[in-house]
Structure 1
Amino acid sequence: MSINKTGSAVWQGGLKDGKGTVSTQSGALQEVTYSFAKRFEGEAGTNPEELIGAAHASCYSMALSMILGEEGLTPERIATEAKVSLEEVEGGFAITAVHLDTVAKIPGADDAAFQDAANKAKEGCPVSKLFNATITLEAKLES
């Protein structure tokens, strides 16, 4: 089985004075602007790293839910934040790390089972498999 989804971007102008828009096939994002200032200078708006973080956090949360379900556990809530690190390296910039921070409320779960499921999800999530970066995880179980 193969599932194909698309995201698209249009860029106009030079690196620092140009601007772009990003859209998704579903229409969830429709010509949302991005720019050098939004990416590197803290200007409000989206940027590639933020979008990657959202994709990773959502994929990880779904993978964790699946793994917990395989263990007979149903989460009430999984909240995940993905902190994407963009650093200047030899030859330019690179995403060097992603830190996943997840907090879950899972009736009947003990911490050992939760930590095992959390780490399996980190390794098995399709977006995790995409990265050549170090991916770290902090997982907390709410009672």
Structure 2
Amino acid sequence: MAAKGTAEWKGDLPSGSGTFTAGDTISGGYTFKSRFEDGPGSNPEQLIAAAHAACFSMALSNSLAQAGSPPESVQTDATVTLRFVDGAPTITKIALVTTGRVPGIDQAAFTEHAQTAKAGCIVSRALAAVPEITLEATLL
């Protein structure tokens, strides 16, 4: 299955602006300020964070269910850090923070499943070039 996104940028880098769409319901605008200076609007790194959080939550839920412990819920926040490395903007870190409501397991089992999901989720594998991907997993 192919997934599609589109984007258009108008103008030069510091004063231009862009728009993007992903699927049928996700769209937004972005600027230099929203990407590099914490200005209002969206940016591509937020889309990466959302994609990673969604993929990881699905992968963790699947791992738990296959082990006989289907979760009531898995909620994940992903924070993508963009820094300049040797003068080039670079994603240097992604921090995953997940919480789960999973009857019948303990924290150690939840952490083990979370580590498996982190290693195996499609987006994690696609982002393997990111130097640091951390995980904090808490069973509620």
TM-score (normalised: structure 1): 0.93
Aligned to 2:15: 17
Aligned to 2:75: 79
Query: Cα distance, 1:80 vs. partner?
Result: 0.5
TM-score (normalised: structure 2): 0.95
- Within a 5 Å distance, the mapping from 1:1-143 to structure 2 comes to 3-24=1-22, 26-30=23-27, 32-131=28-127, 132-133=129-130, 134-142=132-140
Query: Cα distance, 1:109 vs. partner?
Result: 1.3
Query: Cα distance, 1:91 vs. partner?
Result: 4.2
Aligned length: 138
Q: Aligned-residue CA RMSD in angstroms?
A: 0.9
Query: Cα distance, 1:27 vs. partner?
Result: 1.5
Q: Percentage identity across aligned positions? A: 45
What stretches of structure 2 of length at least 5 have no aligned partner?
A: none
What stretches of structure 1 of length at least 5 have no aligned partner?
A: none
Give the counterpart letter for 1:122 in structure 2.
K
Give the counterpart letter for 1:28 in structure 2.
T
Give the counterpart letter for 1:14 in structure 2.
D
Query: Cα distance, 1:50 vs. partner?
Result: 0.8
| 3-state SS of paired residue (1:107) | coil
C-alpha separation in 1, matches of 2:94 and 2:74 = 18
Query: Cα distance, 1:93 vs. partner?
Result: 1.0
